[in-house]
Amino acid sequence: MKNEIKIRVRDLRKARNITQVQLARTLCVSKQSVSNWENDNILPSVETPVRITKYFLYT
């Protein structure tokens, strides 16, 4: 599952041409968190995938 999040977050972010910093600000997390998700170091907290999904669906 970790690898899926890594690929999806990175690909969706790049498709929208937004930086890790911009995504982090939108999701109210640190840039380091986004970087860690994309580098497959950590998984987002339980509620964060919902925020990620809403952001990419509705923007």
Confidence (pLDDT) at 6: 77
Please give the C-alpha separations between residue 47 and each of 7, 14, 33, 56, in angstroms, as whole numbers.
19, 22, 14, 15
Confidence (pLDDT) at 1: 58
> What is the CATH code for 2-58?
1.10.260.40
Give 5-53 pLDDT, tens digit per residue. Answer: 778 899 999 999 999 999 999 999 999 999 999 998 998 988 898 999 9
Confidence (pLDDT) at 35: 95
pTM for the whole structure:
0.85
Torsion 20-22-26-31 (CA) sign: positive
